[in-house]
Structure 1
Amino acid sequence: MIVQIPEPLKILDSLYLNGYRNSLIDRALNKIIELEKANTLKQASELQSKLQIYELQYQMTSDVFYPKFNDGNLGDEIGYFEWSVLYELWLSTQERLKVLQPKIE
């Protein structure tokens, strides 16, 4: 998959690579990251709540359900498809959070 980097990011990257730093730009970028992190955490929480409904209904955690469903071991009930999509969305939020909340070592 080829990802096109937006022109404003290319400009900022070029400025930073050439040693230009500005506290206003730094604060603005940090604010954008914090807003994205907050939105992603909210989305993850909402998805987790929805996943819990399926987990209670089917008496199985999502991480146990997902491989069983993908292997074709659970059937084709519509609820399984909905649960699968929600879990994939939740996994996507977790990947974004890994980027937005790097671990400090």
Structure 2
Amino acid sequence: MISQTSEPLQILDLLYRQGYRSNLIERSLNKIIELERANNLKQASDLQAKLQAYELQYQIPSEIFYQRFSEGSLGDEMDYFEWGVIYELWQSVQERLQVLQPKRQ
């Protein structure tokens, strides 16, 4: 028996492992994934705009900036810390989008 405190994904995983299938669940999960994809695309766009502002201001691509910043060769200006955090957030969103993108066949 499944406990009431089990995580919803664990419950669904158990049901599917037992062979249960539901069109309602499939449609609902697909809709959740679509919404999450759209949300992450918006976040990526917002973060990209912020990265571009720093890139224009400092005339260096974010990827190169981040590598140099991580090595400690740029200094410790507040802008650099903010830019670094924005770049890390952007990378995180990109990783999620890799998972959320529909698989091409």
TM-score under structure 1 length normalisation: 0.91
Across the aligned residues of Structure 1 and Structure 2, the Cα RMSD in angstroms comes to: 1.1
Q: 1:72 is matched with which residue?
A: 72
Provide the secondary structure at the position in 2 that maps to 1:69.
helix
TM-score under structure 2 length normalisation: 0.91
Measure how far apart 1:7 and its partner are: 1.0
- Who wins on radius of gyration, i.e. which is larger? 2
Task: Call closer, same or farther: CA 1:25–1:103 in 2, change over 3 Å.
Answer: closer
Aligned pairs, how many? 100
Long gaps (5+) in structure 2: 1-5
Q: 1:11 is matched with which residue?
A: 11
4+ runs of 1 displaced by more than 6 Å? none
Long gaps (5+) in structure 1: 1-5
Q: 1:57 is matched with which residue?
A: 57
C-alpha distance in 2 between matches for 1:90 and 1:44:
6
Measure how far apart 1:104 and its partner are: 2.4
The residue identity in structure 2 corresponding to 1:90 is W
Q: 2:45 is matched with which residue?
A: 45
